[in-house]
Amino acid sequence: MQREERDWPLDITRAGLLTLAVVMHGVVGVSVAASYGTPEFARRDWWAFRDAGRRVLEGDLAGLYDARPGGFPFLHPPYVASALAPLGGLGDAAYFACMVAGHLLGLGAAVFAMRRLRGLVGAQDVVLLGLLACAPWTIGLVLGQPSGLLLGAWLVAFWGIERKRAFSAGLLLGLCALKPPYVVAPIIYALLTRRYRVLGGITTSVALLLILSGLVGHWSEWIAAIARTLGDVSTAELTLWKQHTLLASLRGSTSRGVALVLWGLAAAVLSIRIYAVRRVRLPTLRLVGWLALGTLALSPFAYFYDALLLAIPAAALWFCPQSYSPRSRATLGAVAALTFVAQHIEFFVLQSGTPIVGLLAAVWFGLELIQGPCESAHHRVRELDGQPDRDG
């Protein structure tokens, strides 16, 4: 009997990612155990969410969007506070557990969707291990940020679009307005592809969220808080190494005016390029990766845990090799690997200086748009400017 040949590079990759994932989750356990019950634990993101829900329950909404020295301010729209109200009465341990559970639920949804997106090839455990080993995943667990939910929502929604469930997919994408930057790219996608049922679903969800915000109000205070945060990024008063955007990378290395001009020019050039290539044919996963890269790189601010979205274009590189030329796949793979390493160094080693992940995401996005797809008869692809969906 002929012995099956082992794929040693793949096995080594698996072992390395598994080891790193175990180490990173050990860091989570040590961090939570060391800080639990101390003021440090209450200065993390989960506390701001719980406090917002508690305020809605108790009708104590004054100062909801005030800055909290030494702590994480609540920066989400008023309807997020309304949605969190049912959990506002939970204790520290229970609420933190709910946030971690949401993060894990998003991971399960993402894996579920990726397994069902058509045309995927490659060992799926490698992508899962890479996700579990990445810095944004670990940081989300430490801080109690359910950013995995948004990753899962995006992938499930686009799987739904493949299944001709356009309106339901739009409803799910609309719920991503819990973090407004996450719904901008899906809206642009729906408009460019003339998927009006997707747009209808997004509009319906956003309308329901706006109705829900009536329990809170305070829209002017939220707008002021967002403007304050944007000003902190542009003036470098906010800790830039926590930001994974092109603007933060530029602001860390040049003046405010120059950074804003360069950021605006980059956004304009990439937007023009997106419009120019709107008729290209792409595997669904690679298309969603484009949306993820644009959301992260071009947002005015996005924290380190938001960079979990980069798992999507990285997965596309692994699962959709026929969509790339060998040279472009090698180039993009190198950028993805450098980004993965930079995330760990910036957060766990340096915690200072000019962030480069936002710049890398912008370069990654630009290379994706410039190099485009490599057609393959073996890949199911979708035209970015396809015909409007008439059957859902």
Beta bridge partner(s), residue 281: 383
Alpha helices by DSSP H, listed for 76-178, are: 78-84, 92-116, 124-133, 135-143, 147-162, 166-175
pLDDT for the residue 367: 92
Interatomic CA distance for residues 128 and 337, integer angstroms: 15
pLDDT for 61: 87
Q: Which residues contact 361 (CB under 8 A, 6 or more apart)?
A: 244, 245, 246, 293, 296, 297, 307, 310, 339
**Residue 238's pLDDT is what?**
60
In a domain, 8, yes or no: no
Helices (H), the chain: 8-35, 39-42, 45-58, 78-84, 92-116, 124-133, 135-143, 147-162, 166-175, 181-192, 196-212, 219-234, 246-251, 256-276, 284-298, 311-319, 326-345, 357-371
| CA distance to 37, 171, 356, per residue, from 164 (Å) | 48, 14, 39
Output the six-digit token pair for 173: 């994408």
8 Å CB contact between 161 and 169: yes
How far is 238 from 116, CA to CA, in rounded Å? Answer: 40
Low-confidence residues of the chain, pLDDT below 70?
A: 1-6, 67-72, 119, 231-238, 372-392
Contact 296, 245 (CB under 8 A): yes
Predicted pLDDT at 383: 42
Answer yes or no: is 304 within a domain.
Answer: yes
Which structural domain, as residue segments, surrounds residue 379? Answer: 40-383
Q: Is residue 20 part of a domain?
A: no
- Would 388 be classed as within a structural domain? no
DSSP character for 254? S
pTM: 0.88
Q: What is the pLDDT of residue 233?
A: 61
In a domain, 58, yes or no: yes
> Which pLDDT value is given to residue 372?
64
Say if 292 falls within a structural domain: yes
Q: What is the pLDDT of residues 226-257, one digit of tens each?
A: 887 776 565 555 677 788 889 888 888 888 88
Q: Per the domain annotation, does 3 fall within a domain?
A: no
Domain tally for the chain? 1
Residue 34 lies in a domain: no
